[in-house]
Amino acid sequence: MLLINQHLLKKEVLILSNQTQTIDDIQNNLRANCEKCFSLCCVALPYAKSADFALDKNAGTPCSHLQANFRCSIHTKLRNDGYKGCTVYECFGAGQKVSQMTFKGKDWRSHPDTSNEMFAVFPIMQQLHEMLLYLHEALHREETKSIYHELKMAFDKTEALTFLDSELILAVDLPIHRNMVNKLLLQTSELVRARFTYVNKQKLINRSSDLIGAKLKGANLKGSNLRGALLIAADLREADMVMADLIGADLRDANLKGANLRGSIFLTQAQINSANGDSTTKLPAGLTTPQHWLK
């Protein structure tokens, strides 16, 4: 794999560090804005017929419901029409970044010669933006003051990668960069959860299939390490998950009614959208109650 031009990367970091960005600006840039995207998730990504998708689709092939104006013809009834998977996907703002910045507003329909490269850049950008979201959260936790500078450097370096030209983005060694970021996220998790200790904590650290459909109603999961845990269809009603680490946890069809998730870390809107809950579910700041919870 090609190496990134380090001089160019340092220049990008310097430019970004001199820009004034508010917390709200950064958060908005890390949320999908479909109005500014060329529906990249509807084209670049593949999916297989399953409970989440009504049909098979190959990578690089537009979804059959994608219209000429880059809008979905069944957007308001995706769940009813068998496309629940679309409602729980989140690009973390990568779609508009690739569409408007990396490719400067040139869409794949009008410029088909760029389509393959655009579709290849998109999933890399999505992963970089997801890392930015987690780093941004870590930066603004009171518990992470001791590693603030390391987190800020990692955030700036990751953000700089997202502003590179497409050929340089494709050359990014993503596993190495992710490993660097993950070490800081692990430190963040330990610092946030430091006050909590449990007899059952070691059992919950095991992210095995044992938690699929697990009966955890009313469980005391404060400060638990649930990174990557398979909590599919788990009964988490009224569970106390304050300060739990939920990065990458699979919450599809998990029952979160009455659960307390306030203060939990690295939980995304997409994870919440994939679960079931109600108006009594307590969510962390910045996350909203999905519409399907209120029906």
Return the pLDDT at 208. Answer: 53
Sign of CA dihedral 254, 260, 263, 269: positive
The pLDDT of 92-105, averaged and rounded, is 97
**Contact between 279 and 256 (Cβ < 8 Å):** no
Return the pLDDT at 202. Answer: 46
The boundaries of every CATH 2.160.20.80 domain in the chain are 196-295
- Tell me the DSSP string of the chain: -PPP-HHHHHHHHHHHHTS---HHHHHHHTS--GGGS--GGGTTS-B-SSSS-SS-B-TTS--TTB-TTS-BTTGGGTTTTT-HHHHT---TTHHHHIIIIISTT--TTT-GGGHHHHHHHHHHHHHHHHHHHHHHHHHT-GGGGGGHHHHHHHHHHHHHHHTS-HHHHHT--HHHHHHHHHHHHHHHHHHHHTT---TTHHHHH--SGGGTT-B-TT-B-TT-B-TT-B-TT-B-TT-B-TT-B-TT-B-TT-B-TT-B-TT-BS--HHHHHHSB--TT-BPPTT----GGG--
The pLDDT of 272-282, averaged and rounded, is 97
pLDDT above 70 covers a percentage of the chain that reads: 86
Closest C-alpha to 29, from 91, 77, 76: 91
56 pLDDT above the threshold of 60: yes
Return the pLDDT at 27. Answer: 65
The pLDDT of 198-219, averaged and rounded, is 69
HSE of 77, CA atoms in CB hemisphere, 13 A: 5
- Angle made by CA atoms 206, 210, 216, in degrees to the nearest 5: 95
Tokens for 71, please give them: 């809008």
| 78 Cα distance to chain centroid | 20
Tokens for 7, please give them: 């001089």
| 72 Cα distance to chain centroid | 21
The pLDDT of 255-279, averaged and rounded, is 97
pLDDT band at 24 (very low <50, low <70, confident <90, very high): low
Return the pLDDT at 39. Answer: 96
Return the pLDDT at 9. Answer: 54
Q: Which of 19-28, 81-90, 108-117 has the lowest mean pLDDT?
A: 19-28
For 226-242, write each residue's pLDDT tens digit.
999 999 999 999 999 99
Return the pLDDT at 28. Answer: 74
Mean per-residue pLDDT of the chain: 89
Q: Which of 30-34, 48-52, 203-207, 220-224 has the lowest mean pLDDT?
A: 203-207
The pLDDT of 109-138, averaged and rounded, is 97
Return the pLDDT at 248. Answer: 94
**Contact between 121 and 98 (Cβ < 8 Å):** yes
Residue 215, φ and ψ in degrees, nearest 5? -90, 95
Return the pLDDT at 196. Answer: 82
7 pLDDT above the threshold of 50: no
Q: What is the pTM of this model?
A: 0.88
CATH number of the domain at 196-295, please? 2.160.20.80
